[in-house]
Amino acid sequence: GDSVTQMEGPVTLSEEAFLTINCTYTATGYPSLFWYVQYPGEGLQLLLKATKADDKGSNKGFEATYRKETTSFHLEKGSVQVSDSAVYFCALRTNTGNQFYFGTGTSLTVIP
């Protein structure tokens, strides 16, 4: 079945460090891929998305490229800030259904 696997955390980085959070997926057809962010005590917010192969989603300095050949959608940021501390979820939506499939989340803490 369809699924998303993302790297386990927690991840702790110093401010201005480079961030990569790995995400791979299993799906039939051509899913849409998403990254969501959850700040402490809040709901999930859409961070970025890509709807077809080779698309790059970007927002707030974060980027992720839809790689069909490696079934991946890794999240990257060149220089993290303390305010980026949150839990990040990778998700896919199949092109045939109404359901999303979420990864288990990766907790990021950025220290000054």
Partner 1 sequence: NAGVTQTPKFQVLKTGQSMTLQCAQDMNHNSMYWYRQDPGMGLRLIYYSASEGTTDKGEVPNGYNVSRLNKREFSLRLESAAPSQTSVYFCASSERLYGYTFGSGTRLTVV
Are 9 and 108 in contact, with CB atoms under 8 Å apart? yes
Q: What pairing do the DSSP bridges indicate for beta strands 23-26 and 100-102? A: unpaired
* Using rule CB under 8 A, residue 86 touches partner 1: no
* Using rule CB under 8 A, residue 42 touches partner 1: yes
Distance of alpha carbon 50 from alpha carbon 30, whole angstroms: 11
* Using rule CB under 8 A, residue 44 touches partner 1: yes
Distance of alpha carbon 68 from alpha carbon 81, whole angstroms: 30
CB of 74 to partner 1, least distance (A): 18
* Using rule CB under 8 A, residue 31 touches partner 1: no
From 36, 37, 69, select the one nearest 53 (Cα to Cα). Answer: 69
Distance of alpha carbon 28 from alpha carbon 25, whole angstroms: 10
* Using rule CB under 8 A, residue 105 touches partner 1: yes
Q: Which of 19, 27, 31, 49 binds partner 1 (CB under 8 A)?
A: 49
CB of 112 to partner 1, least distance (A): 26
CB of 51 to partner 1, least distance (A): 8
- Under the rule (CB under 8 A), what is the footprint of partner 1? 32, 34, 36, 42-46, 49, 51, 89, 91, 93, 98-100, 102-105
